[in-house]
Structure 1
Amino acid sequence: MKQIKIPSQLYGESLKRTVLDYSLITIGAFILAAGFVFFINPYNIVPGGVYGIGIVVHHLIPAIPVGTFGLILNVPLTLLGIRILGARFGLKTVLGMILTTIFMDGLTYFIGENDPLGLADDLLLSCVFGGIVIGFGLGLIFKAKATSGGSDIVAMILAKFTKISVGQLLMVVDSVIVLVGLIVFKDWKIPLYSWIVIFITGKVIDITIDGLNYERALVIVSEKHELIKEKILYTLERGGTYLKGEGMFSGDNKRVIFTVVTRREVSALQAMIKHIDPKAFMAVMETSEIIGEGFKSLEEKSA
Structure 2
Amino acid sequence: MKEKAVKNLKNYVILTAAAVIYAVAISLFLDPNNIAPGGVTGISILVNRFTKIPTGTVNMMINIPIVLLGFWKFGWRFICSTMYVLALITIFINSLAVYGAVTDDLLIAAVLGGALIGVALALVFKAGATTGGIDIIVKVVRTKRKHIKTNILFLAFDSMVILASWLVFQDLTVAFYAGIAVITDSIVMDKILYGSDEAKMIFVICDKPEQVKQRLFGELDLTATIIPAKGAYTNAPKEMLMIVTRKQVYPKLEEVVKDEDASAFMIVSSASEIFGEGYKDITQNKL
Query: 1:121-142 deviations in whole A, cap 9, x for unaligned?
Result: x211111111111111121111
**1:36-115 aligned within 5 A:** 36-61=26-51, 63-87=52-76, 89-109=78-98, 111=99, 113=100
Alignment correspondent of 1:161: 144
Q: Secondary structure at 1:170's aligned position in 2?
A: helix
Query: Displacement, 1:44?
Result: 0.5
Query: 1:208-229 deviations in whole A, cap 9, x for unaligned?
Result: 3336996532111234323322
Query: Displacement, 1:254?
Result: 4.0
The residue type equivalent to 2:43 in the other structure is I
Query: Does the 8 A contact of 1:213 with 1:264 survive in 2?
Result: no
Q: 1:130 aligns with which of 97, 113, 122?
A: 113
Counterparts in 2 of 1:213 and 1:38: CA distance versus 1, 3 Å: farther
Counterparts in 2 of 1:292 and 1:152: CA distance versus 1, 3 Å: same
Deviating runs (4+, > 6 A) in structure 1? Answer: 211-214, 248-252
**How many pairs were matched up?**
285
Structure 1 unaligned spans of 5+? 1-10
Q: Secondary structure at 1:199's aligned position in 2?
A: helix
Q: Distance in 2 between matches of 1:275 and 1:83?
A: 23
Percent identity between the two aligned chains: 31
Counterparts in 2 of 1:275 and 1:91: CA distance versus 1, 3 Å: closer
Structure 2 unaligned spans of 5+? none
The residue type equivalent to 1:74 in the other structure is N
Give TM-score, length-normalised by structure 1: 0.83
Q: Distance in 2 between matches of 1:243 and 1:99?
A: 45
Q: Distance in 2 between matches of 1:300 and 1:136?
A: 38
Counterparts in 2 of 1:46 and 1:212: CA distance versus 1, 3 Å: farther
Q: Secondary structure at 2:130's aligned position in 1?
A: coil
Are residue 27 (structure 1) and residue 10 (structure 2) matched? no
Query: 1:9-48 deviations in whole A, cap 9, x for unaligned?
Result: xx11111111011111111001100111111011111110
Q: Distance in 1 between matches of 2:69 and 2:197?
A: 22
Q: Distance in 1 between matches of 2:142 and 2:284?
A: 17
Root-mean-square deviation (Å): 2.7
Q: Distance in 2 between matches of 1:143 and 1:205?
A: 11
Q: Secondary structure at 1:89's aligned position in 2?
A: helix
